[in-house]
């Protein structure tokens, strides 16, 4: 029930099933992205009408990792009930020019247990290391972590009826990442406006919120902003919905 990992492990990639392409995008500037430093999106987490907690995703800062300018994405969730409580933060450092993950950190307190995962990722050398463990593991040419995947899809053209497959997740044995673009649906935004959204079915690995059996759905605005509006997934004990409640866009 780690909703932060579920929120941040979005499987969003851009190569149609069939001949697979791992070509890298051209170098980009900060201004070319649909999101900018300071953007923050806040969500409620519910089972039916029962509120479980609150989550947020944000473009928290412009940092530098090993001399490379990078976005710092930050995801957090806090909540639970008398059975389960969670307080969790994930952070991703992703290069601006080529949008490659350089570092990923996840720190979660779930009931009385603490989980810490800390990775250094070296795309140009083709490997990553987990801090506290010996050795290194291979990674794809354009590795993306749990947090950067969601922002990656926001830069990506998607067409209704298409299925996309990608080997971009930084841990190779969890690939491929698959996304089905199902339909378009009208949704309400926190500012009172209505907007068309693409309804996506993301699938990764064989467990969690985006396992195939979870029948996950992700709604993103079908405009230049590509704002994630809602995420829904089925569990044996109920359907969890993350719904946007507040948007703070860069410059607001």
pLDDT digits (tens, 9 = 90+) for 167-213: 999 999 888 888 899 999 999 999 999 999 999 988 876 555 555 55
Mean pLDDT of 141-161: 90
Answer yes or no: is pLDDT of 135 > 60.
Answer: yes
Name the percent of the chain lying above pLDDT 70.
81
Q: Coil, strand, or helix at residue 213?
A: helix
Structural domain including 151 reads 3-248
**pLDDT score recorded for residue 46:** 84
Q: Give the E-state strand segments of the chain in sequence order.
A: 40-47, 50-65, 68-80, 85-95, 101-110, 113-122, 127-130, 137-138, 163-166, 177-188, 194-203, 217-221, 228-235, 238-248
**pLDDT score recorded for residue 14:** 30
Determine the Cα–Cα distance for residues 87 and 4; give it in Å rounded to an integer: 9
For 104, other C-beta atoms within 10 Å of its C-beta total: 26
**pLDDT score recorded for residue 133:** 92
Per-residue pLDDT reduced to its tens digit, 218-252: 999 999 999 999 988 776 667 778 899 999 987 66
Answer yes or no: is pLDDT of 24 > 50.
Answer: no
**pLDDT score recorded for residue 84:** 64
Structural domain count, the chain: 1
Answer yes or no: is pLDDT of 62 > 70.
Answer: yes
Helices (H) and strands (E) in the chain, counts: 2, 14
**pLDDT score recorded for residue 2:** 40
Answer yes or no: is pLDDT of 155 > 60.
Answer: yes
Mean pLDDT of 122-148: 94
Answer yes or no: is pLDDT of 10 > 50.
Answer: no
**pLDDT score recorded for residue 8:** 38
Average pLDDT, the chain: 83
**pLDDT score recorded for residue 51:** 81
């Amino acid at each position: 029930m780690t909703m932060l990992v579920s929120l941040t492990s979005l499987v969003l990639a851009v190569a149609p099933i069939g001949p697979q392409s791992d070509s890298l995008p051209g170098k980009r500037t900060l201004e070319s992205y649909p999101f900018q430093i300071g953007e923050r999106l806040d969500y409620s987490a519910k089972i039916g009408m029962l509120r479980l907690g609150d989550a947020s995703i944000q473009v928290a800062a412009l940092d530098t990792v090993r001399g490379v300018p990078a976005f710092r994405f930050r995801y957090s969730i806090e909540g639970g009930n008398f059975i389960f409580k969670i307080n969790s933060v994930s952070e991703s450092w992703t290069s601006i020019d080529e949008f490659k993950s350089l570092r990923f950190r996840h720190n979660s307190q779930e009931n009385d247990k603490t989980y810490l995962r800390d990775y250094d990722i070296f795309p140009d050398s083709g490997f990553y290391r987990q801090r506290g463990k010996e050795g290194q593991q291979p990674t794809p040419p354009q590795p993306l972590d749990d947090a950067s995947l969601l922002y990656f899809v926001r830069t990506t053209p998607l067409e209704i009826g298409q299925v996309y497959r990608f080997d971009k997740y930084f841990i190779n044995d969890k690939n491929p990442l698959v996304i089905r673009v199902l339909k378009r649906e009208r949704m309400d935004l926190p500012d009172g406006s209505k907007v068309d959204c693409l309804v996506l079915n993301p699938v990764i690995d064989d467990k969690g919120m985006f396992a195939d059996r979870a029948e996950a759905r992700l709604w993103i605005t079908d405009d230049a902003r590509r704002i994630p509006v809602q995420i829904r997934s089925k569990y044996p004990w109920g359907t969890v919905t993350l719904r946007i409640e507040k948007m703070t866009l860069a410059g607001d």
